[in-house]
Amino acid sequence: MKKIFPIIIVMALAAGGWFWWQHRGAAESGDLTLYGNVDIRQVALAFDGNGRITEMAVEEGDLVKAGDVIGRLDTHSLELQAKAQEAVVEAQRQTLLELKAGSRREEIAQAQARVASARASAELADLQRDRAMRLVSSRAASQQDLDRAEAEAKAANALLDQDIAALDLILAGPRPESIAAAEAQLRAAETELELLRHEIALGELRAPADAVIRSRLREPGDMATAQSPAYALALTDPKWIRVYVREADLGRIRPGMTAQVLTDSFPDQPVEGQVGYISSVAEFTPKAVQTEELRTNLVYEVHVNVRDEGDRLRLGQPVTVRLVEEAAS
């Protein structure tokens, strides 16, 4: 023990000297050392639609890219409704095409034939009426025969006028109002189909951004609602460091200052960053923050934005931040 004790004393003095030298160098260079924790944004991701979950595609800790499908709902009934609506849309589209195309040649020919037949009948009825008038004048026919012939002539001419009007309608084609109404019905049917397809698409849960799955909160077979998150995601970009600075050092910090973030895991590989948000309101130091001063001192919250290309920083990880005061001048 007598031999070991002097060695321990020497090692302690050497460690103390090294610590003093490091802090002396930082003080002379004007660097400001702060302590804080890594912070990132989190997302509670839920399905937009309601239904039974059929698939949860990722596990906790998995990396996902923006747009990746990470969950699905049962949309079979919606798909059947969409197929039925597709048939309705197609039927309405064909109706509109028929209206725009107008009458066929065969329909026009048929109407013309009816007009010709009605005209012949009307001419025959007129001849019979004229004959009846001559016979009545010569007293060869009764007044009753003349009345009957005049009625038949009027009826035949009325049928002729009716067939001529029908031919005119066929030649004129459908009214613009009828075409506009058919177009509106087609748009309504297409909108209903688009709504069904949108509801089907809501059955897929997609990652909103590049992230890490922090928690898997639902399982296949569960009923999903828009109010119940299925996953908790941690966004990998951006990341920042939450630190607190004393009022005495507040004048040494400015937005845009260069910062170096050091961790115990990679003490020789600092992550570059810049000072971003600086709080304008003082507060008491939170208990989770490491400082060398008393916890009752008032401090200001500061965010240091970092470019963690190597993905070395983790949520809540304690870090040391060194700010170079020369970068602010």
User: What does the pLDDT look like over 110-153, one tens digit per residue?
Assistant: 888 888 888 888 888 888 888 888 887 777 777 787 788 888 88
Average the pLDDT over 262-288 and give the result.
Answer: 79
Quick one: what percent of the chain has pLDDT higher than 70?
A: 85
The 3-state DSSP class for residue 69 equals strand
- pLDDT score recorded for residue 4: 62
Dihedral angle sign, alpha carbons of residues 160, 161, 165, 166: negative
Strands 63-64 and 211-216: antiparallel
- pLDDT score recorded for residue 161: 87
281 band by pLDDT with thresholds 50, 70 and 90: confident
Who has greater pLDDT, 9 or 161? 161
Dihedral angle sign, alpha carbons of residues 323, 324, 327, 329: positive
Of the candidates 92, 99, 83, the one whose C-alpha atom is nearest the C-alpha of residue 186 is: 92
Residue 209 burial (10 A CB sphere; 0-12, 13-18, 19+): middle
Residues sharing a CB contact under 8 Å with residue 85, sequence separation 6 or more, in sequence order? 189, 192, 193, 196
Interval 212-232: pLDDT, tens? 899 999 999 999 998 999 999
Instruction: Assess whether pLDDT exceeds 80 at residue 155.
Output: yes
Who has greater pLDDT, 278 or 73? 73
Instruction: Assess whether pLDDT exceeds 50 at residue 328.
Output: no
- Omega prior to 238 cis, within 30 of 0: yes
Residues sharing a CB contact under 8 Å with residue 34, sequence separation 6 or more, in sequence order? 243, 244, 245, 302, 320, 321, 322, 323
Instruction: Assess whether pLDDT exceeds 70 at residue 21.
Output: no
CA distance 216 to 56: 9
Predicted TM-score (pTM) of this structure: 0.59
Helices 105-137, 143-172: crossing angle, 10 deg rounding: 160
- pLDDT score recorded for residue 56: 95
Estimate to the nearest angstrom the gap between the alpha carbon of 200 and the chain centroid. 13
Q: What is the mean pLDDT of the chain?
A: 82
| Separation in Å, CA 325 to CA 8, 16, 253, 256 | 37, 26, 7, 11
Most confident of 8-22, 154-168, 194-208, 227-241: 194-208
CA distance 52 to 203: 10
- pLDDT score recorded for residue 27: 44
| Separation in Å, CA 134 to CA 127, 142, 145, 193 | 11, 11, 11, 72
Interval 29-75: pLDDT, tens? 457 888 888 887 889 999 998 899 999 999 998 999 999 999 999 99
Q: Which residues of 276-301 are buried (b: 16+ CB within 10 A; e: fewer)?
A: beeeeeeeebeeebebeeeeeeebbb
Dihedral angle sign, alpha carbons of residues 228, 231, 237, 238: positive
Other Cβ atoms closer than 10 A to 325: 16
Average the pLDDT over 95-108 and give the result.
Answer: 80
- pLDDT score recorded for residue 28: 46
Average the pLDDT over 8-25 and give the result.
Answer: 53
Estimate to the nearest angstrom the gap between the alpha carbon of 179 and the chain centroid. 34
